[in-house]
Amino acid sequence: MKTRLATLTLAASLLSLPALADSKVTFKDPSGDDNGPGTYKYPTDTVYKKGSFDLTEFTAEKKGNKIDFTASLGANMEDPWRMGKGFATQMVFIFIDTDGKEGSGHTEGLPGLNIQFAPANGWEKVVILSPQEPARVKKEVETKAASLKGDIIVPARTKGAGRKISGTVDDPTLQGDPTQWLYQVVVQSNEGFPAGSDLMTRKVNEYEGQHRFGGGNDGECDPHVLDLLAGSGKGEESEKKAQHDMLKYECAEDGSAKTKATLTMVRQSK
């Protein structure tokens, strides 16, 4: 009798506890700003469809111990290179500032992006959504970003469907409430034959080519970023200028960066 009473009491107390709520954060980005600092142009090959790199929305949603990350773009996903993931030309980097503390985290970007982060917005983790097989991406990370590999997360599975690219992270090193984190979402292009030390990113040159973006510089001073979050992440028109300002850069005579594009994070409005 005592055992039954104890069981009923425990059950009643558990029912009285609030349910563990899943948490979700959503950011918007204006359409038509997939031009980096304002000058970039798409490659000339027809696989690069208009709007393919135009970020329009980003969500991070926690479901139990897993977090779903989804980037919405301005064109339907296609797989012209038969990657088998529902998309092929895009690659998305999700930088996360989990503590919001100045002087904490990494301020350097990943190889091939040619960006840095403001000291107050260092990142603790970055999630890569790529159509390449995870093993290939991890091998590239080992070779080209070994010092950062502990903070680079490659989901076991990514997929493209409709206008969305998504991946689910089940990683013990990324725990907490996504609504309390700061984010920067960088849209790039998947490059199967990357140059030099680039982490599978596509070059931006002075003039666009079949598989090269144009409107930048032939050196390594320009940010290799097509679109990102800016301002308050609400999708307002003013965020286009905020993006262009954030991606401003200056080149030295030898093509190196005299002034590197410096990114800040976006926080969910309360």
Task: List the chain domain ranges.
Answer: 22-267
* pLDDT tens profile 228-243: 999 999 999 999 999 9
State which H helix or E strand residue 228 sits in: strand 227-228
Closest CA to 264 of 139, 147, 54, 116: 116
Report the C-alpha gap between 107 and 160 in whole angstroms.
Answer: 29
| Torsion (CA) 139, 261, 209, 138 in degrees, nearest 10 | 10
Mean pLDDT of 109-134: 98
pLDDT band for position 6 (cuts 50, 70, 90):
very low
| Per-residue confidence (pLDDT) for residue 185, from 0 to 100 | 98
CB 209 within 8 A of CB 44: yes
| Per-residue confidence (pLDDT) for residue 197, from 0 to 100 | 92
| Per-residue confidence (pLDDT) for residue 18, from 0 to 100 | 40
| Per-residue confidence (pLDDT) for residue 269, from 0 to 100 | 80
Mean pLDDT of 141-157: 97
* pLDDT tens profile 9-34: 444 444 444 444 569 999 999 999 99
* pLDDT tens profile 151-196: 999 999 999 999 999 999 999 999 999 999 999 999 999 999 998 8
* pLDDT tens profile 76-111: 999 999 999 999 999 999 999 999 999 999 999 999
| Per-residue confidence (pLDDT) for residue 254, from 0 to 100 | 94
- The CA-CA-CA angle for residues 198, 200, 203, to 5°, reads 65
Closest CA to 217 of 248, 244, 190: 248
CB 189 within 8 A of CB 211: no
Fold assignment, 22-267:
Immunoglobulin-like (2.60.40)
Least-confidence region, from 99-103, 156-160, 218-222, 245-249: 99-103
List of residues 6+ apart from 205 with CB closer than 8 A = 212, 213, 214, 216, 217, 218
The per-residue pLDDT of the chain, averaged, comes to 93
Beta strand segments in 112-214, E: 115-117, 125-129, 152-153, 158-161, 164-169, 182-189
Mean pLDDT of 43-65: 97
